[in-house]
Amino acid sequence: MAQNKKKVAVIGYGGMGGWHTKHLLVSDVAELAGICDIAEARRERARERGIYVYKSFEDVLADESVDIVTIATPNELHMPLAIQAMEAGKNVISEKPVCMNSGELEKMIEASKRTGKLFTVHQNRRWDCDYLMMKQVYASGDLGEVFGIESRIQGSRGIPGDWRRHKEHGGGMILDWGVHLIDQMLGIVYDKKIKRVYCRCDHITNYEVDDGFKLDLYFEDDVTARIEVGTSNFMSMPRFYMTGTNGSAMINTWTDNCKIVCCKNWDEKDVVPVVTAAGLTKTMAPRDEKTITESEIVRPESDVHEFYRNVCLAVDGKAEQIVKHDQIMRVMKVMEAAFRSDELGAPVDFEDKIC
Ligand code: NAD
């Protein structure tokens, strides 16, 4: 019912602020109170769309009808705006990455505890179908003991030409895409601690911040995860690849189902060798239907607005927030370890706690 809906103000009416307002305008649990942006052009765009425009951030905080503030500004502003909002009695959703570093995050978590206000991060890619399928495959045990997982996002347009190019605004691909893919990987490998982190950053179109990276997470029990983001890849490798002692799974692109191949006969006698210029190989010969089973997981139904539904329930103490403080901190610590490893040019040890 409309009168029970939580009122949300969106701070920053750019690309992602626009996404939030669009979803809030049709939400079953929340309604848009209005937006606030420092750029007149953005404010004018909101007015044209019939959206209420607050004069200032302070004006938002003074509006007693606002329950939740969603912060969708460049990254360096998340912490100060979030703390100010919680201190003014507002619940806060911060866009990802939650802030610039773990020191800032500690202050945000402290403010949430001190004020008793909800504080969470919009990790909307927890509702991505490709991720949900990979999570399902890992948890099913169908591949035997999983020992390798690869998650990739590759484009060819370089790093966006806005604040994302600059360090002072929290630019770079680790903070931009890495934060999603790390959060997802920790959701997939839900049962193991990370022991070591190794990362190499790319600087192909930009020197100030990374415009891509290759990040290896070494989990306990010899499980290795590779997370790769590229902005200069004119052909893409599969979105996800997972392999275990009894089979492999792959998702090619965002929109594909998950393909699974498992071994059903280890005692194959008649391997047909592959002929290469250098000679024959049986070791690397492909398998045929006599020794494998092929199956598919069909993309599940997923509704990203579950995020807002959860936040609205959590504000009333009727649900636990899905994106939790210790998870947000764990992702931040992995990103910091990645930066440290890239600087050192070597793997770094990681003190971990599953959460
Ligand atoms: P953007 O540059 O398109 O928009 C940022 C807006 O914030 C601009 O309109 C700017 O004028 C405004 N702004 C700057 N300082 C402000 C202030 N002090 N008060 C009010 N408004 C202010 O950037 P974007 O792509 O929308 O990214 C915004 C945030 O959303 C970033 O943290 C980004 O990482 C995140 N984001 C998340 C996703 C996701 O999938 N979760 C996707 C894209 C962006």
31 with 44, same domain: the answer is: yes
Structure confidence by residue, pLDDT tens digits, 21-51? 999 999 999 999 999 999 999 999 999 999 9
Contact (CB, 8 A) for 309 and 157: no
Question: 77, 103, 122: which is the final residue of a domain?
Answer: 122
Q: Which of 37, 78, 331 to mutate to test the pocket of ligand 1 (most atoms within 8 A of CB)?
A: 37
How remote is the CA of residue 329 from the centroid of ligand 1, in Å?
Answer: 21
The answer, yes or no, to whether any atom of ligand 1 lies below 6 A from the CB of 15, is yes
Which pTM value belongs to this model?
0.97
141 with 156, same domain: the answer is: yes
How remote is the CA of residue 78 from the centroid of ligand 1, in Å?
Answer: 10
pLDDT of residue 74: 98
152 with 219, same domain: the answer is: yes
Q: Which of 75, 76, 95 to mutate to test the pocket of ligand 1 (most atoms within 8 A of CB)?
A: 95
Residue 142's Cβ-side half-sphere holds a number of Cα atoms within 13 Å equal to 20
76 with 181, same domain: the answer is: no
161 with 99, same domain: the answer is: no
CATH code, domain with 75: 3.40.50.720
The identity of residue 237, as a single letter, is M
Residue 3: pLDDT above 70? no
27 with 87, same domain: the answer is: yes
pLDDT of residue 289: 84
On whether residue 94 sits in a domain, the answer given is yes
The answer, yes or no, to whether any atom of ligand 1 lies below 6 A from the CB of 98, is no
How remote is the CA of residue 19 from the centroid of ligand 1, in Å?
Answer: 10
Angle between helical axes of 129-140 and 179-188 (0-180°, round to 10): 30
Share of the chain above pLDDT 90, in %: 90
218 with 341, same domain: the answer is: yes
pLDDT of residue 319: 97
Q: Quote the number of domains for the chain.
A: 2
Which atom of ligand 1 lies closest to the CA of 39?
11
pLDDT of residue 247: 97
Residue 312: pLDDT above 90? yes
The answer, yes or no, to whether any atom of ligand 1 lies below 6 A from the CB of 73, is yes
On whether residue 52 sits in a domain, the answer given is yes
The answer, yes or no, to whether any atom of ligand 1 lies below 6 A from the CB of 16, is yes
Structure confidence by residue, pLDDT tens digits, 78-124? 999 999 999 999 999 999 999 999 999 999 999 999 999 999 999 99
203 with 342, same domain: the answer is: yes
Q: Cα–Cα distance between 302 and 115 in angstroms, integer?
A: 33
Structure confidence by residue, pLDDT tens digits, 199-247? 999 999 989 999 999 999 999 999 999 999 999 999 999 999 999 999 9
Angle between helical axes of 325-344 and 102-115 (0-180°, round to 10): 170
26: domain range? 2-122
72 with 165, same domain: the answer is: no
On whether residue 246 sits in a domain, the answer given is yes
Residue-averaged pLDDT of the chain: 96
**Contact residues for 96 (Cβ-Cβ < 8 A; gap 6+):** 121, 122, 123, 179, 180, 183
112 with 140, same domain: the answer is: no
Residue 152: pLDDT above 60? yes
